[in-house]
A and B are shown apart, each in its own frame.
Chain A
Amino acid sequence: MISDTLHEHEKKVLIALKTGELSQEELSKKTGLQGDSIAHACLWLESKGLVKTTEERKELFKLGSEGKSYLKEGLPERQVLSEFKKGRKTIGELEKALGKEKTKIGVSWLARQKLAKIKSGKIELTADGLKMLKGETKHERVLNMFKEHDSIQHIQGIEELLKRGKLIKKVDTVKRRVALTEKGKALVGKGIKIEDTVNLLTSRMIKSGDWKKVKLRPYDVTAPVPATKLGKRQPYLALLEEARQYLIAMGFIELRTPLIETEFWNFDTLYQPQFHPARTRRDTYYIKKPNKGEIPEAYTKIIKETHENGWKTGSTGWKYHWDPEKAKNLILRTHTTVSSVRAMNGNKKTPAKYFTISRNFRRDVIDATHLPEFFQCEGIIIQENMNFRELLGVLKEFAKKFAGTEKISFRPSYFPYTEPSVELVAEHPKLGPIELGGAGMFRPEVRLPAGVESEVMAWGLGFDRLCMIKLGIKDIRDLFSKDLNWLEKTPVVID
């Protein structure tokens, strides 16, 4: 029942209103509650549709600082009249009694109201002026109203007083009047009981058993409460973690390889020739100090031959002079494909599957679509006699899982380390084609020097675009958001 959920203050207000509309001040007097409590109770009751408040805006007048003293001493012109009565008729005599300033103001007001004239330093009262020796001036009539009221409403002649500086001031006030609505009347009609209700259940009540003696007030469960702050995972990382769990569940072994690599591991082992434009200072970050790293001797010999003449891979090779010094340059890895080559070098068994989701670096200028560092989901499957159609089968499965679509297309593509190569494109119902990543079968020039006779399928998926869509982000920089408010507002469950 609605009356059960009412706060004690609300109940008191309702009962007070039973006899009719009241102002909040009157309510305060009648219920004995403070102004704030009344205001809150009225607000709650209004939101429940039990009372309605009407606002009355009024122009009121109050005494100013001068007005207060004049109310006691009389206006300057009255003081002059009083002295006149006592026989002081010259300006000199008046100034002696009242001071220069007050005399000046008083005399000038008498003149302005046509109550007196000044003739050769002497005051002469007019007929009206003489009447005023006993009577009340217009100004005095207004001023005297404040003897009984703190504030008065607009009355005739008040404008003139307003012009007299700090005598009186105008204040705008709002008066709230509260009345029961039909719903409120019905509720009050049924009767409202004020019991000894308790808001907060305290430890003391529980221990002492006092809770048995009181009634715990039911709450309005729909009332708003302050938000709870919580710590949670970074939304982008949380999405990447889902992908990671999925790959582990699919039987992939997770890899972790260095961020700083030699060109050897990053490019040469992947059959990317030393004259390839990606291997320049324009595309790849080089390390200042130290700038050279170690490269494995035996593997280096094989890689040199592979590049120059194909070694035992059946390839013609790139037919150029391979320089071990260039291979030693330290760089920030440009792709996680290097993790896969490292995995192949350590791999002992077939079949085998490896993956990693980690960061890579390319020399891009940062803008809404480019970041100098980005996450890539990289993986390989090593299996004898695996074919290209099986790679397409794996990619199709990934598209289903990661992009939630079976509408995909495969496009010819090129990577120096795979052949055949393919690009996976998913059709987004609204945004059109989305490139999910590149893939291919590792070239013999890559897997044979790494000691793998079996076929190897390799893929690198970029989740940035998909995550941006899921998180409703337009600017890629927001994946690394610095905005705590956004991090807080983004829900844990993202679909």
Chain B
Amino acid sequence: MPKIAVNLEDINQLTGKDLTIREFEKISPNIKCEWIGAHDGEIELEVTHDRPDLLSSEGIARALRQYFGLQKGLQKLEFKKSGLHCTVDKSVLQVRPHSRMFVVYGVKLTDATVQQLMQLQEKIHASYTLNRKNASIGVYDLDTLKFPLTYKSVKDIRFIPLGENREMSAKEILEKTEKGRAYAKLIEPAKYPIIVDSKGTVLSMPPIINSEDTRVTPSTSNLFVDVSGEDQLAVEKTVTLMAVALSERGEVRTVSMDYPDRSIESPMLKKQEISTSAGFVNARLGLRLSENDIKELLEKAGFGVSLDRGRITAEVPCYRFDIMHEIDLTEEVAMAYGYDKLEPVFPEIFTIGKADEIETLSNKTREIMIGMGFQEVLTYILEGSNLFDAFNIKAVKLDNPVSDEHDCIRSSLVPGLIELLSNNKHYPLPHKIFEVGDIVTQGDSPLMERRVAAVISDTEAGFTLIKSVAEAVMKNLNSGYSITEYAGSPFITGRAAAIESNKKRIGVFGEVHPSVLNHLDIEHPVVTMELNLEAIKK
């Protein structure tokens, strides 16, 4: 879930309220914000993923106005034409085809507004655009530009990138600037998308970086905003979010996007209607609300509502992309009603419970192991391939591990157990531990398997000892078995055996090879057994 920071003074200015930190904290869960903390008027919140409209103080303030009843029903959002144009050249249609722009007049840029503007861009990029692939945002000082603009693709370009002090080629920008390196993979070489004005000033090379020439400064009062990307829906949603947020700060006007075959006024706010009924809402929530109650509650949540012969039709605010079904309206009603006012009812539903067979067998196995004096331990399923290499055991690897210590899925319980012993050198011998847990077999079709493994380390732990343990397990699991010779890791050849059932190997036991013990810096003999419990399951 995205985390954001907002300023209390800014929020109060946008809501016209005089909230204290405490009051805000108490209300926050009701507007789908999780309170993280506050200091010096800076408030940190976590916003749920369905509400990108809450990623800046403008959206938070709107939600608060709705909560306090200061703003009811659908907010009128109509943007006038600016009369400004941008030509979308056909060269860019194969590269980064979708683009939307708008302008904002009369913005008063304070530290708080600049911070919110940057945060909104950053959070939308991170959470909703597949990291700028589907959509990316650029903000510029409108007064540095000469219209009309052109959005096109070029073989090469030179300009001073934002934050640099010299002109650089496109290739240099991708190789030498931080943003260039981060996003270079999103564009193809010699097909660089750029926005230029009629004087030839480069605005930006989306989605990489803006130019220094069009930088927003504290004296900027008119903004130009562009959103471009590979996914039309993402571009349209993003431009809507930006325009709606900035409409709280200044006057938003549309820009005409002139495609080769058509012109679009941008942003175009989409109208969406979803209808439901009092019957549906009441059945889902366990309430007895009238149509008018529901209308009131939906209006409180910022919806436009009309009632017509049993149907409740809600016009969805343009910045809400999470309303897809009447069940979503139902949740809006519940939230506006207040979760704290919903009385819990325990449903008496008679069903017969049942344990999973392998879990039952696992518990019986635990009983046997504990009866023999073994201590149960819990180790990770994600292990290090270094450890498994030391045991010469293959395991399924992760493609994107976070660290070497957890980069494969264990295919045996034994390495983790023996490694645990190396952490207990000063604990008096004997060490007797076991684990019952899942492994994943290595191979073309990896399978989950429930196993039990036991390990004993003692000054004289030998084959006889572990064979006796293995036989006690098999006999008490009431499973027929035979013991055969076994040669394989991590055992000493000639001192290991396989447990077979119906001519299939279902377990192994024996003395662990001293080279493994040396590797793990274990100073006493170790014997181990491992058994596949799935094979025992009747």
Contacts and interface: CB of A to CB of B under 8 A. Distances in A.
Nearest to B398: A285
Given A251-B352, A364-B402, A483 B373 contact: no
A434 interface: no
B317 to A, nearest CB: 15
Interface residues of A, number: 95
Contacts of B396: 260, 287-289
A412 B32 contact: yes
B398 A390 contact: no
Contacts of B354: 248, 253-254
A483 B377 CA distance: 9
Interface string A472-484: 0000000111111
Most central of A363, A387, A479 by chain B CB within 10 Å: A387
A332 B351 contact: no
Most central of A241, A310, A359, A420 by chain B CB within 10 Å: A420
A329 B77 CA distance: 42
A414 B93 CA distance: 36
A365 to B, nearest CB: 6
A480 B446 contact: no
Contacts, number: 263
Given A390-B286, A412-B30, A480 B398 contact: no
Contacts of A313: 325
B374 interface: yes
B268 interface: no
A460 interface: no
A359 B406 CA distance: 15
Contacts of A276: 49
Contacts of B328: 419
Given A247-B353, A254-B359, A482 B32 contact: no
A1 interface: no
A430 B478 CA distance: 49
Given A286-B398, A412-B29, A484 B375 contact: yes
A414 to B, nearest CB: 4
A236 interface: yes
A96 B81 CA distance: 131
Nearest to B1: A414
A394 B345 CA distance: 8
Interface in B387-425: 396-403, 406, 409, 420, 423-424
A49 to B, nearest CB: 34
Contact of B32 (A287, A351, A353, A414): A414
Interface stretch (A64-72, A170-178, A437-445): A437-445
A422 B356 contact: no
A290 B363 CA distance: 32
Interface stretch (A127-135, A209-217, A225-233): A225-233
A208 interface: no
Contacts of A480: 378-380
A180 to B, nearest CB: 40
Interface stretch (B167-175, B258-266, B331-339): B331-339
Contact of A288 (B351, B355, B399, B448): B399
A291 B355 contact: no
A158 interface: no
B382 A361 contact: yes
Contact of A390 (B34, B126, B334, B345): B345
A319 B233 contact: yes
B446 A231 contact: no
B372 interface: yes
A296 interface: no
A372 B347 contact: no
Nearest to A315: B325
Given A259-B381, A260-B440, A419-B330, A231 B130 contact: no
22 contacts: A232-B370, A251-B350, A254-B353, A280-B131, A285-B400, A288-B399, A290-B446, A314-B325, A351-B349, A381-B349, A387-B285, A388-B334, A390-B286, A392-B343, A393-B347, A397-B346, A410-B340, A416-B49, A419-B325, A420-B284, A443-B325, A443-B327
Given A310-B324, A422-B339, A487-B376, 20 more contacts: A244-B359, A252-B351, A254-B356, A256-B358, A275-B234, A288-B396, A289-B397, A290-B445, A315-B324, A332-B409, A351-B351, A373-B382, A385-B283, A392-B345, A394-B347, A396-B346, A411-B29, A420-B330, A420-B334, A487-B375
Interface of A: 229-234, 236-237, 241, 244, 247-256, 258-260, 275-277, 280-281, 285-291, 310, 313-320, 332, 351-353, 359, 361, 363-366, 372-373, 381, 383, 385-390, 392-397, 409-414, 416, 419-422, 441, 443-445, 455, 479-485, 487-488
3 tightest Cβ-Cβ pairs between the two chains A and B:
A387-B286, A414-B48, A389-B286
